Structure 1
């Protein structure tokens, strides 16, 4: 079949696989494809993937999405934030959560750069020190350059090296205000790529890539953003004060503001949208991953139904998936906690669901503490948004309505960005107004928000007592107990 004019391709390079969506201007999906990534190596702090497999998976996914398609108006690619490799080496890619560059990160922080241990910049230094991490232990020609996950695919698509986008460059230390790389001791200036803003045209699909992928030759290739930003675009949360809460294995909140949200602790960091506005956010270690860990063979729908009898639960949880917390506070020694004794599996399930919702509320309270606008619409996305009960519970705890889009895949966000980058509309927001479809709006139930005030306050106090949550943040959260989280 021919998709005709007005169809854009979004490609999402995920941790476990690659997804491709061909989407029209009104949000109709006219083609989709996927391919798994099986050569994923995890061992202690090490997490690596083979960049060659990314290209193989892209070829498979796009051929599935584009059978018989003779025209695509444009494409964009997103990847996992913080994943990096060195070109001109035989080394692997260090994935977003590879933790081996902790010493490099500490040195960078001592030099005044606000980076986290798993960010790309310390990993670039680690790779340079270790010869790219490859079997040969060397850098070919001594001119290796850092590349992010989508850079590899975009270069294959257009047939030559391309600049990276400023969204993926953020965790490599790029200064989005000044549009410059930092001066990093021990890092050669030519080790970092050129940078363009998301939505910039990088080139066109070359004949060799067209033959391999099924994407028509000449298709414009547009600079993308990280997978988290792509999911935010797919939620439509782009107007000032709008927020997207992505609940999957862990919890990520991303919003839209006219100016960056300043956080001296570095817990909240700011991406920049293609139109120049800002996309602040943070990633928590709390999330739905704790449910599969505690109830590996459970029927979630059945436990959701039984959990409704425990509002609130007899226990209060801070359900970290793994030790350490990054948002709404930074505490490397934080661990999961459970206060009280659940009377049944259903009560424990309820405590975990509520604990995630309490964390979500605390994240919004922290953003309010920093002065971020919260008065726009809130969207729920991520795998957990498939749970009708959990969506309702979260809206109740937050005391505000939430929109649940029909389709929230990052690949949809990249299709929208490709449409913007090829001139389909003057702003990305105008593109998403047409392309993003809202499935439902969940309203908080009258009287239910008050049920959770006491257990939320108890959790805030416990986090403060343990020294994880700063006192001023705890006080601010307590002061907002009788307000909904949209109240600015």
Structure 2
């Protein structure tokens, strides 16, 4: 059988924190095959490391298994996503010289302060204002200061994806702009900020070339084909970060479209024709394929509050009881929680290191307390959208819900009701699928068309106006409470109130 556009498959590779995954997807969006392998970390205090060699081994094994039942003549292209901000140093041959410092490694606080002092004007123009210790540039500065690898001739900075792309192609290829963002790459002028880096003693020779996501980088070499089972000559397409990959997998790619990922925490990723600048620095933009910008924010609130507050509970039964409680209703606003997951403060829709969870109202019993947490996440989600609207980000397009929280049918409807807008639930919404979609652009197919052909919607939910009105007082009570605590800027709080009354 010869390969044709109708029977071809693309391969999506995903390196997460806990596993490496490979999926083969056909032109209709069907996942033909998939496989994964576990990854292991070393954590100590603020430090989080992984062995870069296990990334390659795990992806190679997952790829071999996923492609075992696929005719190699059908495989046309691949793309890869990895965790954002994960970096290492390698020698001139691409051999790792350091562990991989993972996306949430927070050891580089002093280096973040140095980076922010040197790059303040640039970071302001790029819309995120400042870097956090877990971003890639502070960790690069830490590696240069604290490891012997910095003195090795020909040392290179590699993002997590860059090591895999090097192995696949058999030579170093450009990194993608999505991963380069947290290393300080100037997304507006599409170049490294050499003047700022010189002030930080970052050698220019250390830095990789950069390409936009969707750029063809080369093809799979013979050696990599033998290791991974991916056919030699398969086109390698520049990928992006895991969050952007999940957004592509959900099909949220038209201006004003958003994907809301409800996992342990809540992450919103959208599409905009222009860069969205945030004076508070809690929203920042990736650069997508073509002229697309991908604004987003990651909250510290989310579904993780459920496992914290209700360990070992029968969640389906508790959800059913909570739904009955909500249908019965009570005078005044429903009890609502500010559902902060941990003790590290909040990141979005405001930045407050000392923020703490709280509860408004007096729930009667466990079911109503459970509902207060569900409602709190929905209200926090609405506040995120109101904040984005305040910044001038387009927010009126299609909205998809993904993540573990989207498995709760009642919660999905509650979120639609609180938001007062239709939501869609994709059949397959994962980062690896998003990379298979992006890989399908290798022949010039626009990304929006590749997604439209491959992203399937399982269900659409419309808001119930009576329930939207019933939960509005709880939303306003949460806004008022955060305003009184000084968490919300007054203009943001007022904007949220005005939107609620429209």
Gaps of 5+ in 2: 124-129
What's the CA shift for 1:204? 1.1
1:317 match: secondary structure: strand
In 1, Cα distance between the equivalents of 2:375 and 2:108?
A: 35
The answer for the alignment partner of 1:257 in structure 2 is 272
What's the CA shift for 1:258? 0.9
The answer for the alignment partner of 1:442 in structure 2 is 461
1:338 aligns with 2:349: no
Alignment of 1:143-154 (within 5 A): 143-154=154-165
What's the CA shift for 1:319? 1.1
In 2, Cα distance between the equivalents of 1:367 and 1:144?
A: 40
* Greater mean deviation of Cα atoms: 351-360 or 308-317: 308-317
* Greater mean deviation of Cα atoms: 104-113 or 116-125: 104-113
Q: CA offsets, 1:90-139, max 9 Å, x none?
A: 321111111111111122222314222211111111111111xxxxx444
Q: CA offsets, 1:258-278, max 9 Å, x none?
A: 111121221111111111111
Alignment of 1:158-173 (within 5 A): 158-173=169-184
What's the CA shift for 1:299? 2.3
The answer for the alignment partner of 1:106 in structure 2 is 113
In 2, Cα distance between the equivalents of 1:221 and 1:140?
A: 32
CA contact (8 A) 1:155 1:161 kept: yes
What's the CA shift for 1:365? 0.2
The answer for the alignment partner of 1:275 in structure 2 is 290
Alignment of 1:344-363 (within 5 A): 344-363=365-384
The answer for the alignment partner of 1:134 in structure 2 is none
In 1, Cα distance between the equivalents of 2:237 and 2:79?
A: 5
1:319 aligns with 2:335: no
Q: CA offsets, 1:379-421, max 9 Å, x none?
A: 1111111111110010010000101100001111100111112
Alignment of 1:24-39 (within 5 A): 24-37=26-39, 39=40
What's the CA shift for 1:3? 8.1
CA contact (8 A) 1:74 1:422 kept: no
TM-score, normalised to structure 2, is 0.91
1:32 match: secondary structure: strand
1:411 aligns with 2:413: no
Aligned length: 475
The answer for the alignment partner of 2:134 in structure 1 is 118
In 1, Cα distance between the equivalents of 2:443 and 2:298?
A: 31
In 1, Cα distance between the equivalents of 2:498 and 2:138?
A: 39
In 2, Cα distance between the equivalents of 1:348 and 1:3?
A: 56
In 2, Cα distance between the equivalents of 1:334 and 1:188?
A: 39
Going from structure 1 to structure 2, the CA distance change for 1:2 and 1:128 (only over 3 Å counts) comes to farther
In 2, Cα distance between the equivalents of 1:94 and 1:172?
A: 13
Q: CA offsets, 1:350-389, max 9 Å, x none?
A: 1111111111000000011011112211111111111111
RMSD: 1.7
In 2, Cα distance between the equivalents of 1:337 and 1:104?
A: 34
In 1, Cα distance between the equivalents of 2:44 and 2:362?
A: 35
2:499 aligned to which of 475, 480, 486: 480
What's the CA shift for 1:314? 5.1
Identify, as 1 or 2, the structure richer in helix: 2
1:325 match: secondary structure: coil
CA contact (8 A) 1:3 1:70 kept: no
The answer for the alignment partner of 1:60 in structure 2 is 61
What's the CA shift for 1:140? 5.7
The answer for the alignment partner of 2:191 in structure 1 is 180
